[in-house]
Chain A
């Protein structure tokens, strides 16, 4: 008998008797013998202390980010973590609840998502936002498919800046072929930024459903959003902004302000653990006129039969459980609890706090740039005068992977090798700072580079 199974042997015998049966096996008689097993080839169950110790030892075999100076970013960032976030997430009323299909008994989840949607609209400068997607990479995919639908399935080309996170672009490639999308990649100029005229040229006229840039881009540089939006408009395409470091939206205006049609990406920075890559939080915002093509769940405000304000899932005629093969996406379960975490985080930090936090990221990154500009050993900033937010590209005599390895041996997680997924840019290291980066961390990085080169 196991504590997570509600009935014991006596209970099972009693129920069998009530059903007029003698053995539970009788209930499985419809399964053909040829597919059955008596016992699974895995160990029997273990007690709580044993399992906890096993999992703890797996954890101890990893180097936690809390134990070493870390400059890792590239879409997964470590920011301040108010204790209230996990306190709310640990409430069983939230984490053991289902998708809020019964609004009368899920107003808590529904109102929290409504607040999340509002916050995403405010940050992106767009009119409507959904209840979440899986992650930043799939948000890019959904944006491309969204644009394809908005253009009535007639424009098959997707123009993507190479400086969109290369891992996201790989995921887009996985989905593009079956969706008959042609992905055209536009490399950055020498300065690490994407030139709007290059996007415009790649888009052609009336061929492209969307033009996608990431800002700040993979190399850490802020893109010229107004020019990109103009280029997309001229080409008859939607303009899509990907955001991989959501905290940047505390300081930078969202693409909606500059004429972008979609702003989407990864919101892990809003209070989610790095967690070896998941669960994180995809978000998606667009214009209200195109809401019927939006993927994923959506919460709307309405009233109950007594006229009181209430919330419920809405426009579900876009979704798979109603539209089946004609749905805007096949997404069902999304990242609800992660959207709640982001909502609690943003509300605890506050609008003013988010701005200060983003400004601290910028200040720490500028300090890092000053220190690295003088680091020696042939290592230098790839774009010393470029407009960065909190990441930069460090280049030098060796490859980024080699530098990362040598510094890891010295106990410093120096950054992400810039060519991890390939790229036309110089082979170097993407180095990230946040408000949690300390002067001591930067000292350790600079010292380690000095020793290693």
Chain B
């Protein structure tokens, strides 16, 4: 597990306090005449200071980040069972291909004939995602899942406007990710909650009541955030379509059924795919991700631009289309993330992808089987790729999910997602993904069982956790109340 560092690592700004001149990098020699900036640009627009980064040598930089890296937990260290985050192995082949100079060192505004390989790569990944989902059209442009959601909802908005049927509400289940209502609001809709039925899936009767002619779309996560498949998915999409609405599917949990089921057959009109979840691109400590959106025939005309089009054996770019919602961001998306995802899909193929989802679901059920005695299982519906437990058994001893999570750190594991979905009080949402060996799953379960036993025998040990991490429990309340979000020479402010 992450242990305390041998010494504290100062901020880079606290290094070289005497401001000695040191060299971190040598610039190329200037073989043209130097220019006095004030002779070109008005003096009042010029910087008079040197931006505050101290001069440090190259080794100092490397040591700084090496030491910081030692304070991080990562996928390569062990199980990272964050529910709905799909923390799987990030293959090293992906990292190699994304660094090929012919892919990394090309400019998005080069003429198309010079970047045929890149355009083909985009086109091939598009075809692969269409085959995997059974949908009619796709954009790879969105930079992350939430960005893909927004693209999807904006396409729905545009399609309804084209029908002359502007609507004002988006329905979102109470178990949904926070990005769903935030996206609806961002796109100018009122987000209205749909309650869950007793088994954790959408309450069809409630949906029937709420599904009026003001409703533009229903946003559904499949399987939902409890890891439960919406078994009435066909009835739901029929109901929504019959009343003139469209179905947005949140694909965050796609890892559960790749190679087994097709959103195209579920009645989805749009679904984003988090390449950094299902298709193994790294999470990077908070991005970059990629959030391609696959769509039904209804939404194809409204896909963002630019689009890559195939003409025989060559590829060209369409920049303008009046029916398009327009660009969601610059250029073609997080291209080097797309390179990684295509590398992964080509490596696994049809057979490997099915093995992937099968193993992910098998592991989640093994965890459920082993832990459902010691921890309360609030929903007994069949689990796919993740299982949600809660802390209600431990709460009697004043042990809460956050304590269990922090104690897991001492046992050498990253904790599950906590306090989500919101319909489960004290939730511990566990998604193992398929990459680790089964022994790692067993070791995690052993740790969870040990903590449940500790909660009985020595609750203070759990409450005071973590005890063995680079820093002990961090005061997040103080961070918000006494805001210090940058370093200043006088101290942080």
Contacts and interface: CB of A to CB of B under 8 A. Distances in A.
A104 B182 contact: no
Contacts of A64: 101-102, 105-106
A277 B333 CA distance: 7
Contacts of B110: 62-63, 72, 413
Nearest to A56: B100
Nearest to B187: A178
Interface stretch (A16-24, A206-214, A232-240): A16-24
Contacts of A438: 31
B161 to A, nearest CB: 9
Nearest to B274: A333
A258 B47 CA distance: 11
Contacts of A84: 58, 61-62, 65
B211 to A, nearest CB: 19
A16 B359 CA distance: 11
Interface residues of A, number: 204
A269 to B, nearest CB: 13
**Interface hub of A7, A138, A309 (most chain B Cβ within 10 A):** A7
A81 B73 CA distance: 28
Contacts of A291: 483, 485
B147 interface: yes
Contacts of B228: 30
B295 interface: no
Given A15-B362, A300-B485, A324-B191, A354 B261 contact: no
Interface stretch (A184-192, A197-205, A313-321): A313-321
Given A74-B109, A102-B73, A363 B32 contact: yes
Interface residues of B, number: 207
A195 interface: no
A61 B120 contact: yes
Q: Chain B binding site: helix, strand, loop or mixed by DSSP?
A: loop
Nearest to B480: A314
B210 interface: no
Nearest to B335: A276
A63 B105 CA distance: 9
B252 to A, nearest CB: 10
A27 B90 CA distance: 26
Contacts of B375: none
A388 B35 CA distance: 12
A330 B182 contact: yes
A435 B353 CA distance: 46
Interface stretch (A121-129, A150-158, A374-382): A121-129
Contacts of A129: 485-486
Interface string B316-327: 000100000111
Contacts of B285: 94-95, 97-100, 106, 109, 112, 336-337, 340
B426 interface: no
B311 interface: no
A43 B349 contact: yes
B401 interface: no
A324 B106 contact: no
A345 to B, nearest CB: 9
B45 A302 contact: no
B337 to A, nearest CB: 6
A368 to B, nearest CB: 9
A281 B276 CA distance: 17
B355 A96 contact: no
Interface in B80-118: 80, 82, 85, 87-91, 93, 95-97, 99-111, 113-118
B47 A61 contact: no
Contact of B72 (A72, A107, A325): A107
B406 interface: yes
Contacts of A276: 103, 106-108, 115, 118, 331-332, 335-336
B132 A42 contact: yes
A175 B24 CA distance: 42
A90 interface: yes
Interface string B43-55: 0111110111111
Nearest to B438: A11
Given A5-B355, A107-B68, A323 B47 contact: no
Interface in A80-103: 80, 82, 84, 86-88, 90-100, 102-103
Interface in B469-491: 469-476, 478-480, 482-487
Contacts of A108: 68-72
B270 to A, nearest CB: 15
A320 B179 contact: yes
A162 to B, nearest CB: 17
Contacts of B42: 222, 224, 387
Nearest to A257: B47
Contacts of A128: 485-486
Contacts of A304: 471-475
Interface in B1-34: 2, 8-9, 11-13, 21-25, 27-28, 30-34
A159 to B, nearest CB: 20
B47 A355 contact: yes
B382 A132 contact: no
Nearest to A331: B146
B405 A62 contact: no
B435 A360 contact: no
B71 A305 contact: no
Given A118-B486, A363-B33, A278 B326 contact: no
A399 interface: no
Interface in B226-244: 228-229, 231, 233-234
Interface stretch (B340-348, B389-397, B454-462): B340-348
B136 interface: no
A350 to B, nearest CB: 4
Contacts of A315: 480, 483
B58 A90 contact: no
B284 A95 contact: yes
A304 B95 CA distance: 35
12 contacts: A2-B355, A46-B347, A46-B349, A64-B101, A102-B73, A107-B71, A168-B330, A303-B478, A309-B8, A327-B182, A347-B53, A364-B32
Kindly list the 7 A-B residue pairs having the minimum CB-CB distance in the complex, ordered from nearest: A59-B102, A277-B331, A61-B117, A336-B286, A337-B284, A45-B349, A277-B108
Given A56-B102, A76-B108, 14 more contacts: A5-B359, A36-B261, A37-B259, A43-B346, A61-B120, A78-B105, A87-B62, A118-B13, A135-B330, A252-B46, A333-B286, A334-B286, A336-B284, A352-B50
